[in-house]
Chain A
Amino acid sequence: MSTTPNTYWRSLNELARNDEYRQLVEREFPENASELTDGYSRRNFLQIMGASIALAGFTACRKPMQKIVPYTRMPENVVHGNPLHYATAMPFMGSVTGLVVTTHEGRPTKVEGNELHPDSLGGTHILHQASTLDLYDPDRSRGIRQGDEARTADDFAAFCASTFTRDKRVAFLSEASSSQTLNRLKRQIAGRFAASTWVTYEPFGEENVLLGTAMAFGAKRRPIHHYDKAAVIASFGDDFLAAGPDSVRAAKQLAKSRKVMSTEDGMNRLYVVESNYTLTGTNADHRIRVKESEIAQALFALAAALGADGFGGHTNAFTGNGDIARLAADLRGANGAALVTAGADQPPAVHAAVAAVNAALSAVGATVTYAALPFADAADQNAAFRALTADLAAGRYDALVMLGTNPVFTATGDVDFKAALSAVPAVVHLASHIDETSAALPSNGWHVPRAHYLEMWGDGLSFTGAASVIQPMIQPLFGAWSEIEVLSTILTGSRTGGHDLVKQTWTGSDWNRILHDGLQAGTSFPAATVRLTGAAAIRAAAEALPTVSGLEVAFKADPKLIDGRTANNGWLQELPDTITKITWDNVALMSPTTAAGYGVEFPRASILRAPADEEPMVAVNVNGKTLELAIWVVPGHADNAITVYTGYGRTHAGRVGNGIGVDVNPARTSSSPLFASATATRIRRTYPIASTQDHHSMEGRPLIREASLSGYREKPDFAAKMVKVPGPIDEAGQPISLFDEQTFPDHEPQWGMTIDLNACTGCGVCTIACQAENNIPVIGKKEVKRGREMHWIRVDRYFSGDVNGNPQVVHQPIPCMNCELAPCEQVCPVAATTHSDDGLNQMTYNRCIGTRYCANNCPFKVRRFNFFNYPKTWLIEGNDPEVVQMAMNPDVTVRFRGVMEKCTYCVQRLNRAKIETKRATGDSRKPADGTVKTACQQACPSDAIYFGDISDTESVVTRTKRNERNYLLLEELNIRPRTSYLAKLRNPNDATA
């Protein structure tokens, strides 16, 4: 069973002949026409389709005859050519994050954070930024199917009416959801059938956390951390900065105390206890390197050291460990301003212990509050899922309804969900693609295309409890359904529009205001009062936890693909991993010492040898399964341990995600899904890995300038002082130059940028945001392996310290520096790259003939070349190019083969802002400070990027450039970059120094 690509029109003329289209236009008004009043018709996709074709940016070749296709009925508040912004929210793992979506003529093209939303505050993470591409994924399923037969919506409604009768025993399997409407319908369901079960299945959800708090407090509670209130933070395997339901808020709060702007400012201290190097680990001031199975033990030792309830006299391998002792002292010293967290994938006992520790630190109510979740089931959902699988297999149910989720792929090896499916008479699977589960449905099973959040009505609660309504930006492509629409059809036997369902839930609320703001003002979870009751139980559970003595394998959710749900998203597949910089693959991550055991030398002993083209491989035997993976050395990884990521090796993800990497789920067990003891042997095969940064060391060059907080206080301008610029100085105080000065001091504005390396976490959201904003193509593994990645802003990663011990990691985002004396400009023979009056280093695509001289001469190597006609394969030749074209930003030209491209500080935004300002003021060309943001700056969850007019002495960016931490990269070349950096600081505990 596979998607049939051509059920969708290919051109306007065909569109006119398209049946779907006829049906729609024959109706007097399109669906939900009653909503024309609140401008619903703006989202009427079919009528604006034409406009979007005329607008999608295109390459340097002019067509003989261009058509203009106007609206037939002009939608309200659309000014043709100007983008509109609407608030909505993106659901993910049971929480929603408030977003503002930019739409061009009804096409959502870009998402930004909603500044009004407490869990976004204007920030986003990589999954938010990449989500627009998912909407326009041509591999999405194109319609309802039963077995291999296409079915209509009416067929499905009829099936529901006949099947879901009151006498039936029905099982429901859904992703974690905080949707008020969904849960309203869920309650109706509960009473409706003879027997019904509802299981929430999230392979990497927060169930363990809830079970842990249940163990501690007697009821499931969600711990909400307040990182901004904590002076000392200790994370036990908790990668809270990696994209997740709460990561944006976490990054914002952590960054708050890391923006050290003067020697008076303080800075929090972050300890991370982990096995693999994670994003959070790279930001740690102290990183304690232990095997995954030892994290719990380290925590219990800490609990004992702090005298947490239930751990009196508890001893284990870490009792008396120096690092833990110092950590304990530091935490206690913070009196109340301390916070301990643990990774959601850690077993419940760990979270229970964390609760005990935080209680012992009297952090509860200060740095951590607990929330009672309105929609959480009391039962253990992990266990419930296993039970359900067994019951299904035993034929105890007449029907199964799966709202999203892909259990056939994500379930652990010991749970044979596929077999269970075949034993159910009637199965309904709501899924965006014909994924592994849909493909495994029995021949009479129903697949219903699932709506993307940008094309559906819905609602939900944020991680901290802010209530939002999800409003569609566009009518469902491919007639997709939302969860609530399916549920209501099951309940009523006929389809009700998502809008009406949501509206029912929200009756009595200030509907239009909520739609406008993107959330219901002032809503959040009240802090629940908790009392630690389960001390004894925690102790018992803790001491029952297994440990692994020999080699162990840890199974972690991939930071980009999670459980594989985003595997068909090219932007995420091609986003380099924050630590390894690997794209398009998962590998066996291990420390240099461990790798040496398999005959891998790191770093390569003989530099005389040309680098090997392919990586050595290792066969990992775990739980009776064998995983053959490429060996990848991560300095700082725990020894005698291997980490592998889930979400790869999908077979029904789509053309992008199929066959990428290795599926490790079969080797996991539901009893211990996180880690298992294993054996591994080097095998003869090798495997090509596309990594965008092979070199791990900074070679002692002053690229990322770092100091300890105390060092900074002694010598605040240490960064600028690290390099002496040679040569004579001119009257302007600048080193003299052979070339014409490229600055126009009389012309305002003068754009400039500053990047705070202390606030930057290295998450990589800037890269995706830039890709979405600037129509940057995805080029695939083969080309990335060749080193032809196209990202305009990359995040460099360097290891410092002893690579065989516990080295530190630093990140550095590198966009185009827009040098005032740009080396690239001097050498272009056709003047395709020149300087603009407002200080930009311009790249004129249509003038470029592609000598690549500019890229050669760029000291930062930020220029990217279209070696092939990269967009062609998916924008022109791909099936349904119109669909993918709709993701394009019409303000940015799509670059043709043989053309150089690079970061332009989002010049399309700057120009729009300048014209808007002129129109508004009548005479000013200079947008007010802060009104124009670059895509990377706007997306950054920790506000590490400052951008603005440096001719304005009071603008934020000018003030940051005056800061003592400010320095210029490669200043000694006298190229005068417009992008500068604020030096990185760390706040080590002197007791450990």
Chain B
Amino acid sequence: MSPALIGGLGMAVLLLLIALRVPIAIAMASVGIVGGALINGWNSLAFVLGSQPFATVFPYTLSVIPLFVMMGVFAAHAGLSRSLYQAIYSLIGHWRGGLALATLGACALFGAICGSSLATAATMARVAVPEMRRHGYDDRLSAGTLAAGGTLGILIPPSIIMVIYALLTEQSIGRLFLAGFLPGLVATICYMAAAYLVARYRPGAGPAGARVGWRERAKTILGVAPVLILFIVVMGGMYTGVFSPTEGAAVGSFGAFLLTVLTRRLTWRVFIDSLKETASTTAMIFMIFIGTSILQYFIETSTLPRLLNDAIVASGMSRYMVLAVILVIYVILGCFLDSLSMLLITLPLFFPLVKSLGFDPIWFGILVVCVVEIGLITPPVGMNLFVIAAVVPGMQLRTVISGVTPFIMADLVRLAILVAFPIISLWLPSLMK
């Protein structure tokens, strides 16, 4: 059997093991071990098994992951979601669908200090859904808004998935964060347009709220200051070169911890729960990294990436057509796989191809994060759908799925905009020193 055939069979077995509920890290390591032994023999594999896991988890750059996880965990406990929501609501709550728009704006701001989509969705849902129900909002609009708004957490920097993309593809974390800023804004605007259109054309779905006076507006906007300060310190420090990304993440996690103290939310229980959540999330990520390191050795020695590249060149497809195919594959995979595994399984195959086609790796990274976001709100395994159904009392999963459809359309429009205008992603990084 040729190495390429073993490589192809290995990828099929990997998907089968994942479908049989083998933990993804273990599925990747197992396929890597068996495939690696078949292609390269046991001695070579033994060396890789001994050295590769350590080489993967040792680099200093990886430190940024637990620190941004910790920042997100403390930010979610700091009780800032209500003040963010009230601030945006005071400005636009009196519009039709204004509460939904306020929720999306608050999600975007919360995403600026929390790199987790699930935490953003869960935290904002607890604040926004009761308000929307009180104002007679259709549950479909409320749930769709929250599920989609949550995904802004991973596009607007800091973002854990962006860090992982940067580490895997050896790109600058700072540049990738900057690149995500304007697409995050575009995403927020697209979602707001979707929510507005639903409220406009589905009578009674999103009635207007009460208008708030300017004095009240000023007061609520002041409540947002700590979030903006933390965001500016972390991103500004990284942008100006005062901090490295790891230092920025340390400052961010310390700042989020301080915010939890200042908002008097820090109890011993919250502290221990935060540590536990940081530990388990980081452990999951590191275990997947270890599994990937073995799989990657197998994929690379199977020559599969080179064959894929050659086949695409021979097919005569234009590079944008290839990009479109890759993005469609990501959208389909996102329906069945979690974001991290999807990235780790596909990047060894797709990234060399994308680079050889002459696409900018930072721009591709933003597109990948966008399609990962779509995966978070597409059934059957869109995690945000489950989060909203789980944290909102009486919310059915089918209501969430039905409500999120207009936002998936908005995502596709946004993806098309970002593909058509790479400058949206690349302008800010081009200004970086």
Partners in one complex: no
Residues of B at the A interface (CB closer than 8 Å) are: none
